[in-house]
């Protein structure tokens, strides 16, 4: 009889395994006691370029505007951005940075010279939003400024003077000029990009030429008033691994990062399945949804391959990989200026944001900052504005939901995911990240990339006795749902009740095209 019982039990277990496989169950193991790397809050950085209405109308309306403002900066935009805990803002570009001369953007606004923004629409830039206004914005947000210096059309002296103007409290001409313009005390500006896309709009340089320029500029960017600079090298094109090798090899030979020549290395990657036919932001089919998500997952390969080269020269990982431009890039909205890059923002954008943030978490031992393009009214924006109105986009709500991961410990995990197949291609159905904050709360973020099929997940939590789970969800009725002016929000954060925790095991029922964050404590 005992042997018969063993056979029956074995058959039952086999049947359960088959049923589990047929049900599409995904499995996850989270090691709640194993975190050693920190997810830097600077991964949640923003990018604000003088492009379209990203600055003018988006952030800056001027002190005489009927739109409520503080010293010309929109109150509603600042209030919304503070709710997602913006950690850093990169400015003034982008390509605009390499035609921007900071001295034209200081002093009385009526006396500031105008210029033509040749990169973005050929419009007149009046320089009313300059260094002091940008630093005021950062102070209102409580975030770190990231300044991109002009090495394309500028000079070493111009950039070194900018550093001195902002950060020095000594007896020198730039300190006196800053005081004359109304700022007595210096600011602390740590992050400086030594050029932008120097392979293209930043000067059309070769890697060897830029490596020498990086050294020349970095040498003259001095530390003042207890503010050590974090200097970020320009990277090459997204798959230009030779550029990465050239920069790392050049400066490894002199151990220059120990001298402060380079602290970070830039990577730019936009999610664009086909640059010849980017498609609209809102009118798309499932094949376009799949192509976009498949394209954005390439970020994982790019980070791994660039990081592997960096590891060969910097095994201690002292140099941060800085993904300071990323996000979706679609065709502009009909009837808008093609040079302004204004696009709507749907649930698909939210999914792209979740996937990328999960990847940055995964590689947080090397990725130390990321800046989504862009903060307001441009590309994959957090906020859209129209006169006095604002719209909070689906991407905004992902950043708000995911803010719990800032400066938390990344938790090791093993994920076995079902596949999402479209035509001949497949990608993992689930994208996942987990962290533990300083209060000991565990947060698990889950994205179900499948637009029509719900997924079940069994998650084993190891190294914790936590017994409670709560959650939030972002989803919508359609995959192209978006928030628009004058209409109720179609995409927002709502309570999630589809998770249960028993004896250290989470069971989660994820709706199709959903993003969920669970809190376990």
Which residue carries 């040498």 as its tokens?
A: 219
**Distance in angstroms (rounded) separating the CA atoms of residues 84 and 8:** 55
Q: Give dist(CA 161, CA 166) in Å, integer.
A: 9
197 is catalytic: yes
Q: Cβ distance 307 to 363 under 8 Å?
A: yes
Helix (H, G, I), strand (E, B), or coil: what is residue 218? helix
Confirm whether 125 is a catalytic residue: no
Rg over CA atoms, the chain:
24
Is the bond preceding residue 94 a cis peptide, omega within 30 degrees? yes
Structure tokens at 297: 């997952």
- Neighbour tally for 137: CB within 10 Å: 26
Unique residue bearing structure tokens 């151990």 = 255
Beta-strand pair 230-233/191-194: parallel
Token pair, residue 211, equals 């490596």
CA dihedral 307, 311, 312, 313 (to 10 degrees): 110
Query: Which DSSP symbol is given to 359?
Result: H
Please pick, among 125, 144, 325, 455, the residue that the annotation labels catalytic: 325
C-alpha span between 12 and 239 (Å, rounded): 51
How many angstroms separate the CA atoms of 102 and 105, rounded? Answer: 5
> How do strand 25-31 and strand 413-416 relate by DSSP bridges?
antiparallel
Q: How is residue 19 written in tokens?
A: 């049923």
Strands 430-436 and 442-448: antiparallel
Tokens matching residue 15? 């049947």
Q: Is 474 exposed, middle or buried (0-12, 13-18, 19+ CB in 10 A)?
A: buried
Task: Tell me phi and psi for residue 105, to 5 degrees.
Answer: -110, 25
Q: Which of 49, 99, 133, 197 is catalytic?
A: 197
Catalytic residues: 197, 325
């Amino acid at each position: 009889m005992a042997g018969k019982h063993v056979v029956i039990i074995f058959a039952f277990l086999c049947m359960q395994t088959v049923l589990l496989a047929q049900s599409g169950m995904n499995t996850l193991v989270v090691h709640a006691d194993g975190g050693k790397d920190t997810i830097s809050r600077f991964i949640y950085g923003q990018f604000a370029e003088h492009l379209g209405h990203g600055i003018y109308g988006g952030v800056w309306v001027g002190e005489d505007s009927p739109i409520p403002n503080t010293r010309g900066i929109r109150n509603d935009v600042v209030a919304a951005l503070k709710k997602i805990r913006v950690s850093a803002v990169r400015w003034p570009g982008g390509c605009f940075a390499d035609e921007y001369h900071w001295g034209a953007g200081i002093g009385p606004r009526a006396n500031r010279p105008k210029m033509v923004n040749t990169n973005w629409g050929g419009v007149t830039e009046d320089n009313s939003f300059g260094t002091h206004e940008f630093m005021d914005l950062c102070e209102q947000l409580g975030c770190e400024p990231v300044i991109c210096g002009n090495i394309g059309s500028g000079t070493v002296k111009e950039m070194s003077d900018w550093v001195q103007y902002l950060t020095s409290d000594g007896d020198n001409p730039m300190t006196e000029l800053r005081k004359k313009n109304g700022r007595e005390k210096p600011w602390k500006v740590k992050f400086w990009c030594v050029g932008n896309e120097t392979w293209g709009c930043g000067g059309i340089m070769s890697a060897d030429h830029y490596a020498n320029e990086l050294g020349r500029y970095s040498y003259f960017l001095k530390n003042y008033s207890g503010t050590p600079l974090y200097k970020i090298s320009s990277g090459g094109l997204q798959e230009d691994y030779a550029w990465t090798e050239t920069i790392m090899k050049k400066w490894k030979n002199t151990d220059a990062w120990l001298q402060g020549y380079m602290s970070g290395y830039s990577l730019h990657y936009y999610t664009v399945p086909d640059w010849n036919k980017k498609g609209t932001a809102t009118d798309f089919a499932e094949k376009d949804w799949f192509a976009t998500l498949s394209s954005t997952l390439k970020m994982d390969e790019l980070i791994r391959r660039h990081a592997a080269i960096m590891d060969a020269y910097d095994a201690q990982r002292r140099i941060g990989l800085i993904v300071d431009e990323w996000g979706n890039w679609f065709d502009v909205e009909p009837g808008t200026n093609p040079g302004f890059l204004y696009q709507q923002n749907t649930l698909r954008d939210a999914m792209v944001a979740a996937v990328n943030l999960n990847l940055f978490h995964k590689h947080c031992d090397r990725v130390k900052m990321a800046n989504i393009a862009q903060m307001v009214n441009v590309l994959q924006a957090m906020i859209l504005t129209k006169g006095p109105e604002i719209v909070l986009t689906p991407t905004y709500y992902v950043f708000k939901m995911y803010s719990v991961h800032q400066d938390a410990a990344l938790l090791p995990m093993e994920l076995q995911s079902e596949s999402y197949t479209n035509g001949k291609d497949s990608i993992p159905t689930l994208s996942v990240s987990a962290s533990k904050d300083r209060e000991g709360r565990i947060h698990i973020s889950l994205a179900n990339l499948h637009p029509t099929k719900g997924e079940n997940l069994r998650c084993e939590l190891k190294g914790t006795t936590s017994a409670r789970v709560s959650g939030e969800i972002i989803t919508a009725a359609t995959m192209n749902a978006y928030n628009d002016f004058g209409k109720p929000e179609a995409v927002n954060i709502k309570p999630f009740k589809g998770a249960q925790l028993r004896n250290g095991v989470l069971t989660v029922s994820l709706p199709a095209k959903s993003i969920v964050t669970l809190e376990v404590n």
